[in-house]
Structure 1
């Protein structure tokens, strides 16, 4: 159906995000790219610029996924857009709610791969744990998610789509900064974000856009296991808070439980932390430290952690994470007494070291568990 102001369409450029049905997915595209796609589809430039602005507003401020709901686009024109463009979310395979209020979604990509995201509500905030890959690039020994093979990187629309799905579930459209349950995002779900840098960066720019999803970069934390060469770029091009999965203070132990340490050692990692753009006492680097019995939890380990933070003059806090067990893990969680002792040593040195309260264990949504139910249920469906 012709549309007023349209010109003859030209072929879709190589690399355009076309779906199996031939339509172009608009979620995850920056505004300028949406304008370009509208021109490519046949709109003349002025019309494309106007429609791109309108569509952007409907997608990210209103949460609309249907062109028929876009009231400032004429009814006669809406079928033309719907035939050429899509506004979609990842498919929800299953949604679960923990007894502590934590929510977990098992999601499916357009090509049939499954991944998970988690929402953790607290009295003063609500944090969405977002995945960046299907599976994981790394194989951290204590992490069940890390035992999954990497299937592929998630694309920008699949990363942004997680935030939009959570907003759908929480009823938080139209988008506004006041009174939201979803206040924070952590890139701590499946995958290593810095091994999917371009897609994570492009997605987070939309999430942080004041006319987009509108979350401040101070409310977003990117977690890395220590991909040193990409850390400076993350600070310069994304500018969000940094969390580092440290988990050990000696080479031998970190080589064992975080094998990436064999490539980028502790000293290299902490030097990169010291150079991270924007890090200061108001925006401290968070060191994630999972507590493993008789492995990394001694008083000597705590004192070495303090020494390293002081040596590199790092504006830092330490999150102590009780180990979340899974079948065949080969590790046990440190005792409560041992965790308290470790925390006290770090606190007494003037460094914040809170103990994270495990959340969502009953639905396998706790830190390091984003694999258990997903793979079990997938295998069950395949054999049914």
Structure 2
């Protein structure tokens, strides 16, 4: 299947003009930061050194005050303070689940809000970040999909979620100290599985993740970052080439008939087209398997036949299948599969030679679990009947 149309024609996905004022350095790539400093009077011969210095202060040590950047001259610090700002989104509300999960309601430019979730585990701490305000995909099992798309997040608003979470966790090292000096990180992994479709905001997601992976800053390995897509086929190979992180696919069905209803983007790029792109994925290997996310919906996609079809469909793709018990939300048109049914499904996949972990629901008591995110400022409320009609159920 070929498609020459733009990835999306929805004008609402174009970032709105942000308020006038000092230029925010958060979200600028190294090249963009260098050009910005030169444009404001930094001599070209000094620009590379200045970028390295400012980069470390912002991304390695979390410093937001130019006057605290003590390896810069006082005069240069004053110039920076006049022309620039170091700003991250604002946490307007934080909820902590009984299981330790933290959900942040985050305000970005224009007064819009998104949600970011931190999930602590025994051997890691995972931050689930958003890439758009709302979403265009209207997946029937996803609460975010009932919220209309407002705009893409900027690179600064994406990496800013990582920075504000490190603020809240108290995880910035002291100036002069390396990121890994104090032992295991509280925030060790990132998943782009929050609000929005990351591949509909590719450039900003790419720049934010490049900043996050930079060894002189936050310094997270590309293998500790997972990008989840619903199947924007033309951008999949580009993800490997320009970002290089791990890939997850929101799959959820084994026939086009069912996936058309659950994940409507399937009508544009169907299962066969998506799987062809995944088989050609440049980074797919036994050490970098593609994760197939599969939400378990009672009597919809959870039969033994579905499990066997799934195994046949992904044959030849280095993969694992992440089974996700459906996390209910008010007005949801689906129910969670029975636990024994989920275990039976997992067993069929496991016996076929694929890892099939069942994701433990986290943060359900604060609506922070997978598929439950929806910003508080979104006032439109749809009835169950409207949601089912949108999904074609």
1:270 paired residue number? 275
Match of 2:61 in 1: 62
Could you tell me how far apart the structure 2 residues matched to 1:62 and 1:151 are?
A: 32
Aligned to 1:360: 363
CA distance in 1, matches of 2:140, 2:17: 38
Secondary structure of the residue aligned to 1:111 is helix
For 1:235 and 1:170, locate their aligned partners in 2 and report how far apart those are by CA, in whole Å. Answer: 30
Provide the residue aligned with 2:133 in structure 1: 134
CA contact (8 A) 1:167 1:173 kept: yes
Contact 1:364 1:372 in 2 (8 A): no
SS at match of 1:163: helix
1:113 aligns with 2:118: no
1:77 Cα shift? Answer: 3.3
* Residue aligned with 1:186, SS: strand
Pick which of 73-82 and 112-121 moved more.
73-82
Q: Give how far 1:79 is off.
A: 2.4
Q: Which of 219, 228, 236 in structure 2 is aligned with 1:231?
A: 236
Q: Where in structure 2 are the equivalents of 1:204-223 lying within 5 Å?
A: 204-223=209-228
Give the alignment's TM-score, normalised by structure 2.
Answer: 0.88
In 1, Cα distance between the equivalents of 2:25 and 2:372?
32
Displacement of 1:78: 2.2
Q: Which moved more, 1:164-173 or 1:356-365?
A: 164-173
Q: Which has the higher contact order (CA 8 A, sep 6+)?
A: 2
Distance (Å, rounded) in 2 between the aligned partners of 1:276 and 1:103: 34
| CA deviation profile, 1:332-365 (whole Å, cap 9, x unmatched) | 1100111111011111111111110100011110
Equivalent residue, structure 2, for 1:370: 373
Give distance in 2, aligned partners of 1:134 and 1:242.
22
Q: What is the aligned counterpart of 2:333 among 301, 307, 330?
A: 330
Over 3 Å counting, the alpha-carbon distance change for 1:19 and 1:124 in structure 2 is same
- Equivalent residue, structure 2, for 1:283: 288
Pairwise CA distance, 1:239: 1.0
> 2:187 aligns to what?
182
Q: Distance in 1 between matches of 2:129 and 2:250?
A: 16
Q: Secondary structure at the match of 1:338?
A: helix
C-alpha separation between the residues in 2 aligned to 1:300 and 1:243? 23
> Given the alignment, which residue of 246, 253, 256 partners 1:251?
256
Give yes or no for the alignment of 1:123 onto 2:126. Answer: no
Q: Note if contact 2:105-2:375 (Cα within 8 Å) is conserved in structure 1.
A: no
> In angstroms, what is the RMSD of aligned CA positions?
1.8
Alignment pair present for 1:165 and 2:164: yes
In structure 1, how many angstroms separate the alpha carbons of the residues matched to 2:375 and 2:190? 22
Moved over 6 A (4+): none
How far apart are residue 135 of structure 1 and its match?
A: 0.6
3-state secondary structure, aligned to 1:93 = strand
Q: What displacement does 1:56 show?
A: 0.8
* SS of equivalent to 1:77: helix
CA distance in 2, matches of 1:365, 1:62: 28
Q: SS where residue 286 of structure 1 aligns? A: strand
Superimposed CA distance per residue, residues 132-175 of structure 1 (whole angstroms, 9 cap, x where no aligned partner): 10111211001011111110000000011111111111111126
Shift of residue 282, structure 1, vs aligned partner:
0.9
What is the aligned counterpart of 1:301 among 298, 306, 311? Answer: 306
Alpha-carbon distance between aligned partners in 1 of 2:160 and 2:66, rounded to the nearest angstrom: 17
CA contact (8 A) 2:128 2:191 kept: yes
Structure 2 distance, partners of 1:325, 1:374, is 20
**Residue 265 (structure 2) aligned to one of 260, 267, 273:** 260
- Aligned mates of 1:377, 1:139 — CA distance in 2: 14
Aligned equivalent of 1:100 = 99
Q: Report the TM-score, using the length of structure 1 for normalisation.
A: 0.90
Task: Tell me by how many angstroms 1:304 deviates.
Answer: 0.6
Question: Across the two proteins, how many residue pairs are aligned to each other?
Answer: 360
Deviation at 1:372, TM superposition (A): 6.5
Contact 2:147 2:378 in 1 (8 A): no
**Could you report, residue by residue, the CA deviation over 1:205-250 in whole angstroms, capped at 9, with x for unpaired residues?**
1111111211111111000000111101111111111100000001
CA contact (8 A) 2:329 2:367 kept: no
